[in-house]
């Protein structure tokens, strides 16, 4: 979810293609809710793989396009640092929440790009568990000669995507909050023209 200012060149192409690099980071932070939230945990979930491409139009940034894909089964719970709990929570997330057998991808496709100070505001469609909703994210940009780095955060409600927030423990007293916060650091390398 990034774009950037064009590098200084004598002749600028109509568009430039950037491809997401493996060192890009995509995290999801969960919260706790309910009467017994004090006994639950907040979880940090990280995508262990993702791919994407950015087509940037230096002379007309509003024509630029972004597409990011995260394989659902490559999301992994990182906290709390208890390996048995992490395995159980990761399995429940993949099976019961993300339903990876039926919905193997999380996808973001831009629909509008607007320049803002220090970056871009990108509006697009986020598809999660087969449901697509519009989200808007402000992306802070840093650019070197052939690389773009974009960082930002945005939040969604699980229920907006038809997801019932996870409940666990005796009688489901431990609950994950409806609101999820996504944060990312996307690094993309200039490639051949699209």
Instruction: Choose between 57 and 6: higher pLDDT.
Output: 57
Return the DSSP state at 160: G
Label residue 141 by pLDDT band (50, 70, 90). Answer: confident
**Residue 14's pLDDT is what?**
85
Whole-prediction pTM value?
A: 0.81
- In terms of Cα–Cα distance, which of 51, 149, 53, 61 is closest to 112? 61
- In terms of Cα–Cα distance, which of 144, 186, 190 is closest to 19? 190
**Residue 37's pLDDT is what?**
41
| C-beta separation of 90 from 41 below 8 A | no
**Residue 103's pLDDT is what?**
95
Segment holding 86, helix H or strand E: helix 83-92
**Residue 91's pLDDT is what?**
87
- Report the chain's mean pLDDT, rounded to a whole number: 83
Label residue 5 by pLDDT band (50, 70, 90). Answer: very low
Return the DSSP state at 27: E
Residue positions counted in the chain: 194
**Residue 167's pLDDT is what?**
62
The tens digit of pLDDT for each residue in 152-177 reads 999 999 999 998 887 665 444 466 78
Q: Residue 39 pLDDT more than 50?
A: no
- If DSSP codes are grouped into helix, strand and coil, which group holds residue 96? helix
Label residue 38 by pLDDT band (50, 70, 90). Answer: very low
**Residue 8's pLDDT is what?**
45
Label residue 92 by pLDDT band (50, 70, 90). Answer: confident
φ and ψ at 93, to 5 degrees? -60, -45
């Amino acid at each position: 979810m990034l774009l950037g200012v064009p590098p200084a060149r004598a002749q600028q192409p109509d568009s430039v293609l950037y491809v997401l690099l493996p060192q890009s980071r995509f995290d999801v932070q969960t919260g706790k809710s309910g009467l017994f939230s004090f006994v639950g945990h907040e979880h940090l979930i990280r995508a262990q793989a993702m791919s994407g491409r950015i087509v940037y139009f230096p002379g007309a940034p509003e024509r630029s396009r972004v597409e990011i894909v995260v394989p659902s089964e490559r999301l992994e719970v990182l906290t709390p640092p208890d390996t048995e709990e992490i395995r159980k929570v990761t399995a429940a997330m993949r099976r019961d929440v993300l339903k990876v057998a039926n919905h193997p991808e999380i996808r973001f496709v831009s629909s509008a790009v607007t320049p803002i100070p220090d970056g871009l505001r990108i509006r697009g469609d986020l598809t999660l568990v087969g449901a697509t909703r519009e989200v808007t994210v402000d992306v802070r940009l840093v650019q070197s000669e052939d690389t773009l780095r974009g960082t930002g955060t945005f939040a969604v409600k699980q229920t907006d995507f038809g997801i019932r927030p996870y409940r666990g423990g005796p009688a489901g007293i431990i609950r994950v909050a409806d609101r999820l916060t996504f944060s990312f650091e996307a690094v993309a390398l200039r490639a051949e023209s699209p």
